[in-house]
Homo-oligomer: A and B are copies of this chain.
Amino acid sequence: MTQTKEHVYQAKAIVIGGSLAGLFTGILLHSIGWQVDIYERSPHNLSSRGGGIVLQPEIVAAFHQANVTYEAPLGVVANERLYLKPDGSIAQRMAMRQTLTSWNLLYGIMRRHFPNNHYHSDKTLAKFEQTDDQVTATFTDGTQATADLLIGADGADSTVRQQLLPSYQPIYAGYIAYRGLVNEPDLPQETAALLTKRFAFQQFPNSHILQYVIPGEDESLVPGQRRFNWVWYVNYDEVTELPELLTDKTGRQRDASVPPGLMALAIEQQMRDYASQMLAPPFQTLVQATREPFVQTIRDLGIPQMAFGRVALVGDAAFIPRPHTAAGVSKGAANALSLVEALVNYNHNVRQALEIWETDQLRLGMHLWRRGQELGDRSQFTHGKERFGTQNKVSERLQHLR
């Protein structure tokens, strides 16, 4: 382990995927002296579909490590959790301070920090090949890139993973999230006052909804310019119900989500009716004020291997924990933090560093994956797989609780 030569060669990395996990990896590898090129398949600037994100410590640590400067704070502080009764009154308050941020804010900060000439849009990976000494990526436009390390940070439907582990695909968890964002001025004052500075929940059999305030679309933290972010988990049968739910207003059936502005009108109306029946008045108001709700299927993905010689999978390309863990984004940051730590500790020996790195990161991924299943299954399936209200016995339980 004793080093005797000055390190002169600048190591090179290819990162496939330019969303959050790719950017975390990019800025962190850059911070330990690597030359990094990020390849993103989308031809446009990425825009947020994710909405709110809980600011976990790994995100802050990654920014610190990469010397990413930002105007503190990195999000909006909520001071307590609020549990609402069906009538909208407060069932319980609990002190619990958290910082809530957004996909936009994290993406914007990292994207501005990462050198533009090394961020390549409209680049779709076709395949990669590796030897003992290097790895080469070939893109669908015929161009190639060669480096010491290739990172698959290309999300749930990762092309890199498909080449390495073709039989591993995300699995539908049995429920979806209706989601929405509401600009602060668009919510009636009374509801806004209740939901500001708070992480608010309403729990009912086989479902729950939650909300918190996040930065504005332009990253603003100024009161009045921020957004209410809500997530409502609802069970849908994969065979009999999900295909219709995922068919957008143009008639196209989507794989895993329906973005803002594209929900079919009949589906959106069903959701709004359902909200009027089930939700406490403040949450009803929140859903009503949402102009472009969207749908995200909840999926599980776990894999048995993350390091493959000079290739590694990070973020959603490796593990998708359910959102109840509030750790999807911070896991990507943790993957990248741990990667650079291993590279530094193992003298930038890629294969050795990846081997050590993998042990911990598999453990982290497995843990979050299982913990998310426990949390989600408990809240969504305690009374069977049904969506609440479709069976009398469950309906009776609600009556009893009201």
Chain A residues within 8 Å of B, Cβ to Cβ:
1-7, 31-33, 56-58, 60-61, 64-67, 72, 81, 83, 85, 90-99, 203-204, 340-341, 344, 347-348, 360, 363, 367, 378-379, 401
With a cutoff of 8 Å between Cβ atoms, the chain B residues found around residue A341 in the complex are 96
Taking the closest CB of chain B, its distance from the CB of A154, in whole angstroms, is 26
One complex includes copies of this chain to the number of 2
Taking the closest CB of chain B, its distance from the CB of A4, in whole angstroms, is 6
Give Cα distance in the complex from A92 to B67, angstroms. 21
With a cutoff of 8 Å between Cβ atoms, the chain B residues found around residue A60 in the complex are 57, 60-61
Contact of A1 among B81, B93, B203 (CB under 8 A): B203
Main secondary structure of the interface of A (DSSP, over half): mixed
Taking the closest CB of chain B, its distance from the CB of A12, in whole angstroms, is 15
Give Cα distance in the complex from A340 to B97, angstroms. 11
User: 22 A-B Cβ contacts within 8 A?
Assistant: A1-B203, A1-B378, A2-B83, A2-B91, A2-B204, A2-B401, A3-B91, A4-B85, A4-B91, A4-B401, A6-B91, A6-B93, A7-B93, A31-B95, A31-B96, A33-B94, A57-B58, A57-B61, A65-B96, A65-B97, A67-B97, A72-B72
Taking the closest CB of chain B, its distance from the CB of A57, in whole angstroms, is 4
Nearest neighbor of A360 in chain B, beta-carbon distance: B367
Q: Answer whether A344 and B94 are a contact pair too, CB < 8 Å, given A57-B58, A64-B99, A360-B367.
A: yes
Give Cα distance in the complex from A123 to B96, angstroms. 30
Nearest neighbor of A33 in chain B, beta-carbon distance: B95
Give Cα distance in the complex from A72 to B378, angstroms. 41
15 new A-B contacts at CB < 8 Å, known A32-B95, A65-B97: A1-B379, A2-B203, A2-B204, A2-B401, A3-B91, A7-B94, A31-B95, A31-B96, A32-B94, A57-B58, A60-B60, A60-B61, A65-B98, A72-B72, A94-B344
